[in-house]
Structure 1
Amino acid sequence: MISTISEMIWSTPMLYLCIGVGLLFTILTRFVQVRYLKDMSTQAPDGSFIVDHLKGVEAGPQYTQQAVETVLPGFGSGFVAVSLVFFAFTTIMSQYYIAETNLAYVMKGKQNKIVSMFLKAALLATTLYGSIRTAEVAWALADIGVGIMVWLNLIAILIYEEALLTA
């Protein structure tokens, strides 16, 4: 059943539909992504935004809540809260799956309960730590994790490419 749903979600017509909807929204908003590109990337030296369309609202979840409130009054905070819960849950689940798959690859498919328990404890510890610290700390830790992953993958790709070239 899961494979059927996956095939339906990632089918060619669905991909065309997603691309079409994205292009439709881009055209209907008169290419807002391009028109405000300079404004989006411009910040003052002190870190504040040069273009501040929502006066008095700091960047972060409140900014998104207020932006949704301008379009759908009374819906912003609930929408952002539910979205963050789903985003956090799916991110944690996917990161754990990736880590467990990598662990199985490194261990050559052998079950090692101690290492697996350490992985689970590390995931729980980082989740707890991220939930009691500020958002800046959580994002900084996430950036560090992604950076480490990128470097390891880049090194693996270069080693693989070198092996292909010498073979």
Structure 2
Amino acid sequence: MGQSITTVQLMKKVNNMKARLKKKTDVRKTGNKPVKLLPWEKTLYDAMDGDSNPSVAKIAGARSYGTSSPNTSSSNLDQSEKRATTATPLPMPPRRQRAATAPPGETQETGKLSNVELQRLVLLEQLQTARVQRGYYERKLQREAVQMVHENGNTYANL
């Protein structure tokens, strides 16, 4: 009916099947994703005494939420584990502690202003800077226009 195989070949096939199954159900690689097994994989996995859902590892003494599993009952837990499951969780520490320092460029005057007031202050300072620059270039043009160049007896205005 089929090929006849030796004991060594059969053991090699079974070991390859086990390796493939272990690789597929490795908790570190699958994470919390549910593992879907083929029928022959389910049979082999049950024969190897594997969990029904290997993607969820059960840790002794850890809190469990949701529905209770048939493998874990309250009678199997000792007193310290019962206390661990009923204790209130500790508050999480802050992710990053920041110093209460002002950002660079912040003064006492600007620290008290709202966003609208800060925008108005920035615009007024930009306007003042633009007026100073315009005055500088106007004076520079006037000085250059006044300068006269004398060449070969002729007088020229430098514009």
Structures share fold, TM-score greater than 0.5: no
- Flag the structure with more relative contact order, 1 or 2, with Cα contacts below 8 A and sequence separation at least 6: 2
Q: Give the number of the structure whose alpha-carbon radius of gyration is greater.
A: 2
- Bigger fraction of residues in helix: 1
